[in-house]
Amino acid sequence: MMKKILVVLTNVDKYATKDEPTGLWLSEATHFIEEFDHNENVQIDLVSPNGGNVPIDPKSLGDSLDASTKAYFENESFMNKLKNTLKPSEVSASDYDAIYFTGGHGTMWDFPDNAELQALSRDIYEKGGVVSGVCHGVTALLNMKLSNGLLLVNDKKVSGFTNEEEEMAQQTKYVPFLLEDALRERASEYVKGSAYTSYVTTDGRVVTGQNPQSSKAVAESVKELLGL
């Protein structure tokens, strides 16, 4: 049976707090998608808060551009999909088995309070689907409420970009909040591994990865939950 996964990406191309570009951390999309790309029983659709173009953080194209991500970056078809993402209003939660929130600092501005993305996530989860995110993409889960009014992460163990990693990235004073602190306030438990090493937490049907290095492992956990 065909499984459908909705991958969510940011539209924000610049920090609101300084004159510097941001956007999607490219490998957080490509490493996840690659795990499903050659499975004919999986369909992946790309969506963003406003639809249309997804900017790429230039820093993710530097030393972080591994061979796999470079191949996607040079793939005209894939890049065209990034420039023409769907709007939330153009997709239906009933069609999807999982949703995955990619990161990049841009997500801190357009993910946490997006009602449409929260509704999609809630509906996918409540019909038995998987909700997942990596790095700053986990900001999308901060304020997502279930139909009973409780936050999704209220009784969940979660991970996400750490305060230490934010400090190492030299962005602490430029982000609107620290994700680790926000998760500690909302989730039943926040857990983390060593800085910039793959670390993933799976609690029921909620999968969260700590940093860019965790994207592939998040995909592997989602794949297992979907029975692929």
Residues known to be catalytic: 135-136, 166
Which SS3 state, helix, strand or coil, does residue 3 take?
Answer: strand
Residue pointed to by tokens 């996918």:
124
Nearest residue to 157 (alpha-carbon basis) of 179, 178, 187? 187
* Distance in angstroms (rounded) separating the CA atoms of residues 225 and 18: 40
Helix (H, G, I), strand (E, B) or coil at 115: helix
**Partners of residue 201 on adjacent β-strands:** 208
- 41: β partners: none
**How many residues does the structure list for the chain?**
228
Q: How far apart are CA 32 and CA 72, in angstroms?
A: 12
From CA 110, how far away is CA 48, in angstroms rounded? Answer: 9
- Pick from 113, 50, 54: nearest CA to 83: 54
**For residue 227, which amino acid is it?**
G
> What burial class does residue 2 get, using C-beta atoms within 10 Å of its C-beta: 0-12 exposed, 13-18 middle, 19+ buried?
exposed
